């Protein structure tokens, strides 16, 4: 199943070049009262919703993908976990590029662990990336994004992939500089997920997945998850050894070599095997509302 969110918080199933509007299936979700759960309700109930999505798809409105604004396929992740320097060649480039290397935790992932991005940084491809500090270097980082499907507390690597709901493309946008990663990578719009989730049953084991990003048609990063320092299963197990992963939590698995700056007006096109391609425009952030 390929699930997307689009337009005014609609939920869609993607078939070929079309979106089937299956928003009606969300009527099956339990009503939540304060306090809200620390999990994304759609992902937490994905197995129960699946037959309802199929039922609604049979009589759904069919919209061309090219005509919808794609939102993040996950609406309410409890946390966005991200792996720093998880490809050896990116570690080399980070160590030698003075813009990246500010003696700011540029070290092997085994030493620095993982970090968190604010959930308020999350957008979908149709919303684009808004640059707040155009005088500084703002980089793209393309990454395979893993969506956790069920509570995972101190799980083993051998069982970790059973805890995955699905996969999508992630952009871990980053402003370079001396501040903490959690600040530099949590600017509004600096986490882009899309174009849709491919559920685990339609995705191979994520051990040899190709990923590419082009900026204005020029290839910047092109790599394969077989070169991850810590692979997806080990990364999930590692993160779960510190905190319980919840349904809808996002794990950005790290970016390969070739990171580089983007500027307002640029167009990023990210492609990952078995998922598809998403196009993301870069613009200047709107002025603050005072
Ligand atoms: Mn990253």
For residue 271, the CA-to-ligand 1 centroid distance in Å is 16
Q: How far is the CA of 259 from the centre of ligand 1 (A)?
A: 9
Q: What is the pLDDT of residues 164-205, one digit of tens each?
A: 999 999 999 999 999 999 999 999 999 999 999 999 999 999
Interval 201-247: pLDDT, tens: 999 999 999 999 999 999 999 999 999 999 999 999 999 999 999 99
Distance 65 CA to ligand 1 centre (A): 28
pTM: 0.96
Give the closest residue to 266 by CA, choosing from 191, 215, 221, 192: 215
Q: Compute the distance from residue 12 Cα to the ligand 1 centre, in Å.
A: 28
> What was the pLDDT predicted at 96?
82
Whole-number Å distance, alpha carbon 38 to ligand 1 midpoint, is: 23
pLDDT of residue 100: 72
* Per-residue pLDDT at 284: 97
Rounded to the nearest angstrom, the distance between the alpha carbon of 141 and the centre of ligand 1 is 6
Q: Residue 40: its pLDDT value, please? A: 98
Contact criterion met (CB below 8 Å) for 254 and 223: no
Find tokens 């200047």 and name the residue: 284
How far, in Å, from the CA of 67 to the mean position of ligand 1? 30
Kindly give the distance from the C-alpha atom of residue 224 to the centroid of ligand 1, in angstroms, as a whole number. Answer: 15
What's the pLDDT tens digit per position in 10-20? 999 999 999 99
Going from the Cα of 10 to the center of ligand 1, the distance in angstroms, rounded, reads 28
**How many angstroms separate the alpha carbon of residue 207 from the centre of ligand 1?**
18
pLDDT at residue 221, rounded to an integer: 96
- Residue in 190, 140, 200 with CA at minimum distance from that of residue 168: 200
pLDDT surpassing 70 at residue 126: yes
**How far apart are the C-alpha atoms of 21 and 137, rounded to whole Å?**
39
Q: What is the pLDDT of residues 139-170, one digit of tens each?
A: 999 999 999 999 999 999 999 999 999 999 99
Distance 140 CA to ligand 1 centre (A): 9
CA of 79 to the centre of ligand 1 (A): 15
Distance 167 CA to ligand 1 centre (A): 16
Phi, psi of 14 (to 5 degrees): -95, 125
Report the pLDDT value the prediction gives residue 97, as an integer from 0 to 100: 78
Rounded to the nearest whole angstrom, what is the distance from the C-alpha of residue 139 to the centroid of ligand 1? 10
**Residues 62-105: pLDDT tens digits?**
999 999 999 999 999 999 999 998 998 888 888 887 777 655 56
Preceding omega of 95 cis (within 30 degrees of 0) = no
Quote the ligand 1 centre to 249 CA distance (angstroms): 16
Strand arrangement, sheet containing 276-284:
129-131, 276-284, 267-272, 210-215, 218-224
What's the 50 CA to ligand 1 centre distance in angstroms?
31
Q: What does the pLDDT read at residue 101?
A: 62
Structure tokens at 78: 């409890």
Q: How many angstroms does the Cα of residue 11 sit away from the middle of ligand 1?
A: 27
Rounded to the nearest angstrom, the distance between the alpha carbon of 245 and the centre of ligand 1 is 19
Terminal C-alpha separation, the chain: 43
Dist. CA 216 → ligand 1 center (Å): 21
* Ligand 1 centroid, distance to 61 Cα (angstroms): 37
Distance 286 CA to ligand 1 centre (A): 25
Is 56 a residue whose pLDDT tops 70?
yes
Q: How far is the CA of 87 from the centre of ligand 1 (A)?
A: 10
* pLDDT higher than 90, residue 57: yes
């Amino acid at each position: 199943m390929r699930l997307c969110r689009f337009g005014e918080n609609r939920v869609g199933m993607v078939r070929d070049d079309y979106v089937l509007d299956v928003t009606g299936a969300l009527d099956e979700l339990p009503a939540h009262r304060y306090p809200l759960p620390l999990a994304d309700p759609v992902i937490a109930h994905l197995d129960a919703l699946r037959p309802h999505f199929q039922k609604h798809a049979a009589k759904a409105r069919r919209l061309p993908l090219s005509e919808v604004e794609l939102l993040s396929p996950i609406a309410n992740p409890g946390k966005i976990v991200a792996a720093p320097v998880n490809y050896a060649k990116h570690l080399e480039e980070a160590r030698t590029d003075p813009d990246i290397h500010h003696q700011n935790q540029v070290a092997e992932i085994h030493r620095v662990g993982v970090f968190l991005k604010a959930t308020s940084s999350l957008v979908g491809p149709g919303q684009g990336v808004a640059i707040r500090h155009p005088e500084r270097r703002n980089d793209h980082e393309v990454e395979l994004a893993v969506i956790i499907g069920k509570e995972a507390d101190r799980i083993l690597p051998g069982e970790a992939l059973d805890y995955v709901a699905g996969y999508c493309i992630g952009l871990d946008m980053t402003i370079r500089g001396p501040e903490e990663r959690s600040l530099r990578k949590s600017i509004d719009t600096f986490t882009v997920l899309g174009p849709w989730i491919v559920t685990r049953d339609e995705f191979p084991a994520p051990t040899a997945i190709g990923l590419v990003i082009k900026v204005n048609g020029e290839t910047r990063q092109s790599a394969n998850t077989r070169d991850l320092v810590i692979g997806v299963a080990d990364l999930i197990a590692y993160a779960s050894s510190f905190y319980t992963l919840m349904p809808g939590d996002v794990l950005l698995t790290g970016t390969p070599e070739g990171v580089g700056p983007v500027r307002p007006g640029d167009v990023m096109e990210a492609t990952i095997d078995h998922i598809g391609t998403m196009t993301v425009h870069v613009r200047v952030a709107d002025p603050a509302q005072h």
